[in-house]
Amino acid sequence: MTEQSPSRLPAPRIAASVAPTTNPHLDIAEVTKNFGAQAVLKGVNLSVAKGGTTAIVGPSGSGKTTLLRLIAGFEHPATGSISLNGKTVAGNGVWVPAHKRQVGYVAQDGALFPHLTVGQNIAFGLDRSALDGGRRAVKSRVQELLDMVSLDSDMAKRRPHQLSGGQQQRVALARALAREPELMLLDEPFSALDAGLRVATRRAVAKVLSEAGVTTILVTHDQAEALSFADQVAIMRGGKLAQIGNPFVVYTRPADRATAEFLGDAVILDAWMEGSLATCSLGGIPVRRPPAQGLVQLMLRPEQIRIAPDGPIRGVVVDTDYFGPETTVRIKLAPRVPTPGAVEYPGGGEVITIRHWNASITRPGTELSLRVVGEGVAFPVEE
């Protein structure tokens, strides 16, 4: 990220928060929610396709969990409506309680009953009246659910404290699946796991839900988790949805600067836009559908800026952070040298951050040649 004065940053814009979808399972229309005098949700609109996976990502306090609780039926919206399969379950004078919504819910800590075995925890979610065969049928169904979440049958006799964090989350998922929900809500279910276990558990859960054809909504504050887990990502900020789209679009074409910087590292430079070309310290960068002409702020992702022997851009390494497979490199760009009679473009001498795999060529003080790959995204300069 470039090092700029906070006074230069534009005020955040809230983009349109409706993403149309065919065959919707969930429709949220103009939902608001207040806790006392505090407005937590401020007119949220969201459509989730049947069988699809949506991740709602945002910083702490942005309203993610509150929205999930409204969908589950744990809270009432102040205004607006929530519909499942075309039927209103909240709003417009209608209220369907949580246990009648065919919705499963997995909390952050799994919320397993510590005094029950794994098998008893899973059986707690079963509708025994729908099973023929008494205890044998319950045991058989518990075994099916353990198999579904890739846990051995002998784990049915264990207590939750005898399981790893990842195993506990799979048991919580099995319990939620026991009632055969049509919609599964996951409230930061992987946040307490270590990095390696987190990835493995996330993949296992995604596979189970996909094979079961269950519509899924994941709430998380982890950007990488949201981008890798879902086929639709909704970015929440200040009680509103700032952008909704597939992971590639929201990452490469964020709606505004605040969204760009939340979803990942971003290089932001002052630039001059003429037509579809933004000229800045990194040269002329093409921009698709620029929002303005003249002075703009140009966004590039660090991976778009490559170290290349024949690159036209020069910079000197300021410092680095080594992470094993990659190194984060901070580079001070060469100052812009004015040409008499030529147009004076903005920028020059900024410090940017990129990533590179070879730490040996990015030692502090080294002069590097750089090249930009791909398009940039321009944001208007807002006073």
Q: Give, in degrees to the nearest 5, the angle at Cα 67 between 66 and 70.
A: 90
SS3 46: strand
Output the pLDDT for position 262.
Answer: 93
The owner of tokens 């205890």 is 135
Per-domain boundaries in the chain: 7-252, 265-380
Taking 60 as the threshold, does the pLDDT of residue 9 lie above it? no
Instruction: Say what the pLDDT of residue 159 is.
Output: 93
Residue 257 and residue 291 in contact, taking contact as beta carbons nearer than 8 Å: no
> Which stretch of DSSP H or E encloses residue 47?
strand 38-49
Length of the chain: 383
Query: Percent of the chain scored above 70 by pLDDT?
Result: 90
pLDDT in tens, 182-223: 999 999 888 877 877 788 888 888 888 888 899 999 999 889
Q: What is the pLDDT of residue 202?
A: 85
pLDDT at 22 over 70: no
| pLDDT tier for residue 18 given thresholds of 50, 70 and 90 | very low
DSSP assignment of 263-315 equals HS--EEEEEEEETTEEEETTEEEEBSS-S-SEEEEEEE-GGGEEE-TT-SEEE
Helices (H) and strands (E) in the chain, counts: 8, 21
Q: What is the mean pLDDT of residues 240-258?
A: 95
Confidence of residue 234 (pLDDT cuts 50, 70, 90): very high
pLDDT over 60 (residue 229): yes
Mean pLDDT (whole number) for 249-265? 94
pLDDT of residue 96: 96
Check: CB of residue 26 under 8 Å from CB of residue 183.
Answer: yes
Q: 267-274 and 313-322: which strand pairing?
A: unpaired
Please say if the pLDDT value at position 12 is more than 50: no
- The answer to whether residue 14 scores a pLDDT higher than 60 is no
pLDDT of 4: 41
At 294-326, the pLDDT tens digits run 999 999 999 999 999 999 999 999 999 999 999
CATH ID of 7-252, from 3.40.190.10, 3.40.50.300, 3.40.50.2300, 3.30.70.260? 3.40.50.300
What local confidence, expressed as pLDDT, does residue 267 receive? Answer: 97
210 by DSSP, 3-state: which?
helix
Model pLDDT, residue 136: 80
> 25-36, pLDDT tens digit by residue?
999 999 999 999
User: Mean pLDDT throughout 264-277?
Assistant: 95
**Do 47 and 21 touch, CB atoms closer than 8 A?**
yes
Cα dihedral value 371, 4, 354, 375, nearest 10: -50
pLDDT for 8 equals: 36
Alpha carbon of 358 to those of 105, 209, 320, 331, 365: distances in Å? 44, 39, 11, 15, 15
pLDDT band at 66 (very low <50, low <70, confident <90, very high): very high
pLDDT digits (tens, 9 = 90+) for 85-138: 999 999 999 999 998 999 999 887 768 889 999 999 998 877 666 666 667 888
Looking at mean pLDDT, say which of 57-61, 282-286, 347-351 comes out highest.
282-286
pLDDT at position 212 = 87
Is residue 25 a contact partner of residue 77, using CB atoms and an 8 Å limit?
A: no
User: Quick one: pLDDT at residue 72?
Assistant: 95
